[in-house]
Every structure is written in C-alpha cells, then in structure tokens.
Amino acid sequence: MNNNKQPYEKCIIKVLKKNKRSKFESPEIGTELYVVHSFTNSWGTEKIIGISQKGKEWWTTCNNIELVKDTEFDSQKALSAWITATHIPMFVNPKKIARSEEAAECEILSKNTKGKQWIATKMLRNSEGKELTGADLAKSLNEYTEVYVSVWYAKKIGFLSK
C-alpha cells in the first residue's frame, strides 16, 4: 500500500466523532476540514491531517469522518492561514531532482547549513500552500527559489537550530 496517496488528499471532510485515544487534541464534532495529508501508520490505522478554515491543524482517523461534497469551505483561505501559522520561508537552489521526483538535492541559503542536501519534495510548499513536486523544482534548477517548510522539518534538515 502506498502510504502517501490516500483517496482523502485535497478533499473536504466533516468530523463525525472524536478520537478515542490520541496524544493530539480532537476537532469538535461537525468541524469541516481540508485534508492536507493522509497516511497509514504501522498499526494499519488510516490517519488524516486536516486544517480548519482558520488554518488550525487537526489529526483524526478515517473512521471518524465523512467526505463532504457541497460546502462553503474556502480551501485556499484555509491553506494560506495554515502556511502563515505553521510554516517558514526558506530559499533553496535545486541542483538535482531524483528520478522519482520525490526528492531534490538543494543548496539552502542559511548560516546553519553548508553544502548540498537532499530534501523531500512533499515537504515543500509554495506561498499559496500548494505542495511542490520535482517537476516544479526542475523549472528553477540552479536558481534560488522561495519555498515554505514546516518548522519541525526546518529543524530536521538543519535550517533552524534545534
């Protein structure tokens, strides 16, 4: 099973019940969320990460939700609020793209990082919140491009001090 391409990506969902045992706070019942990521954990539970209209990130499972077709939810507004609240800008200079397009070797403009390093493309987003692909980065080979990364990933790759 491919853990990165669940059918919930980029969908609007409605929370039907709260998480039973979770280290994460559960969204209120009836909350509509825009799905930014979904995966299956090592126990086989399908996890969903969604964002509210105000950009707050919530975790739930596929057993606790239903897909919503007709809604007033503004996903672009939610993505912009989420990027502003949880991501930081970073300048990268893509040098090489992996054949799978799932990673790129980049120089990062930072005093904390030296040389080139491989970065997962699914962790990079543009200013509107769109997840970048290898093809997107290939358009700007050998020139610095502004991307947005979550704070935890910026620490992981050495962009921020831990």
Report the pLDDT value the prediction gives residue 157, as an integer from 0 to 100: 84
Under 8 Å CB-to-CB from 48, ≥6 apart: which residues?
6, 8, 13, 33, 35, 37, 38, 59, 60, 61, 62, 65
3-state secondary structure at position 89: strand
Report the pLDDT value the prediction gives residue 5, as an integer from 0 to 100: 46
pLDDT in tens, 43-76: 888 888 899 999 899 999 888 999 988 888 888 8
Whole-structure pTM value: 0.76
pLDDT in tens, 5-46: 456 778 899 999 888 766 777 888 999 999 988 888 898 888
Report the pLDDT value the prediction gives residue 97, as an integer from 0 to 100: 92
